[in-house]
């Protein structure tokens, strides 16, 4: 067996934050391609991914690489794997809303070992190593102490590329709104998860997220004292290329309240897949 190189968080942060230059390259930002009717990708996405894939390969040659803008069919999820969204919040980038992030997780056998979310517009780095707490620019962060949903601001996402269940999604938003302080639309799942970890939001709900959208955020929220789950209340899977509904909350009480809104009948995960839809 080959010896595994120890992953150093300061080194990873240095590597990730060096991607900042691509976000401020206006030519790359304007070079937009369409993956679907409202599914954007820009040259920023491609350049950030290419830079990180190559730099991480050189630094940690034994770690596999999963990235949103590549084919990931050959990943062996029992081994160590980087899970990267080079630009989370690409629609925000295209519309110059300055709310996008690099999201990088390190997983082994489905277990999150490390997460880094970098907001290049504010130079904020959210980070966590399993068992070591969560940090924002080196200072410890913690989820809100709001006791329940009624005392929480909740961030939600629309899943604009997957509109098959929009009515259901907005029914959930309505009920969450009725039972919480208020709701906000994020537009970057990674930054929304980071905002749960730092105590701004009490909870997050978004359907149809891919592992690269939440891999880093899951580690950071859990290290900040929060909890995450999928549609069924099971742990979020980072062992496949499949989408999940993502629930995140500051505590179990809020998570259960959210779960009882989005899945009151405790339906199994495959209920929507049978409808050729997604959770
Ligand atoms: P993206 O910008 O990397 O595509 C917007 O509500 C949030 O949902 C963003 O985090 C966005 O990630 C994510 N999102 C949008 N379309 C998606 C898709 N087709 N699959 C997975 N996540 C998506
Ligand atoms: Ca992306």
Q: What is the tens place of the pLDDT at every residue in 104-160?
A: 999 999 999 999 999 999 999 999 999 999 999 999 999 999 999 999 999 999 988
74-86: average pLDDT = 97
Element (H, E) at 247: strand 244-249
Instruction: Tell me the three state secondary structure of residue 122.
Output: coil
Quick one: 9-140 is in which CATH superfamily? Fructose-1,6-Bisphosphatase, subunit A, domain 1 (3.30.540.10)
Q: What is the pLDDT of residue 163?
A: 83
Which protein residue's CA is at the shortest distance from atom 15 of ligand 1?
A: 159
What's the predicted TM-score (pTM) here? 0.95
Q: What is the tens place of the pLDDT at every residue in 38-64?
A: 888 999 999 999 999 999 999 999 999
Q: What is the tens place of the pLDDT at every residue in 1-25?
A: 456 778 999 999 999 999 999 999 9
- Residue ranges per structural domain of the chain: 9-140, 149-278
CATH architecture of 149-278: 3-Layer(aba) Sandwich (3.40)
CA of 103 to the centre of ligand 2 (A): 9
Which protein residue's CA is at the shortest distance from atom 11 of ligand 1?
A: 89
Strand partners, 33: 41
**More reliable by pLDDT, 248 or 277:** 248
Which protein residue's CA is at the shortest distance from atom 23 of ligand 1?
A: 209
Examine the pLDDT at 208 and tell me if it is beyond 70.
Answer: yes
Which ligand has its closest atom nearest to the C-alpha of 189?
A: 1
CA of 67 to the centre of ligand 2 (A): 9
Residue 58: Cβ within 10 Å count = 9
């Amino acid at each position: 067996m080959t010896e595994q190189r120890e992953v150093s968080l300061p080194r990873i942060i240095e590597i990730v934050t060096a991607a900042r230059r691509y976000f401020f390259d206006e030519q790359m930002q304007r070079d937009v391609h369409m993956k679907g009717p409202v599914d954007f990708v820009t040259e920023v996405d491609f350049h950030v991914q290419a830079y990180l894939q190559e730099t991480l390969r050189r630094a940690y040659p034994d770690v596999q690489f999963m990235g949103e803008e590549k084919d990931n069919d050959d990943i062996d999820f029992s081994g160590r794997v980087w899970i990267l969204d080079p630009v989370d919040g690409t629609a925000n980038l295209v519309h110059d809303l300055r709310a996008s992030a690099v999201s990088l997780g390190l997983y082994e056998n489905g277990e999150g070992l490390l997460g880094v979310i970098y907001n290049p517009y504010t130079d904020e780095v959210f980070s966590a190593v399993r068992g070591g707490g969560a940090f924002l620019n080196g200072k410890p962060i913690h989820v809100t102490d709001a006791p329940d949903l009624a005392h929480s601001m909740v961030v939600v996402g629309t899943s604009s590329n997957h509109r098959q269940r929009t009515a259901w999604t907005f029914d959930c938003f309505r009920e969450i709104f009725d039972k919480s302080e208020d709701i906000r639309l994020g537009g970057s799942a990674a930054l929304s998860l980071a905002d749960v970890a730092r105590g701004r939001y009490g909870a997050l709900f978004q359907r149809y997220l891919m592992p690269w959208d939440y891999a880093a955020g899951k580690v950071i929220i859990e290290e900040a004292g929060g909890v995450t789950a999928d549609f069924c209340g099971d742990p979020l899977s980072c062992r496949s290329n499949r989408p999940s509904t993502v629930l995140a909350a500051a505590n179990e009480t809020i998570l259960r309240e959210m779960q009882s809104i989005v899945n009151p009948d405790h339906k199994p995960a495959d209920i929507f897949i049978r409808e050729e839809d997604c959770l």
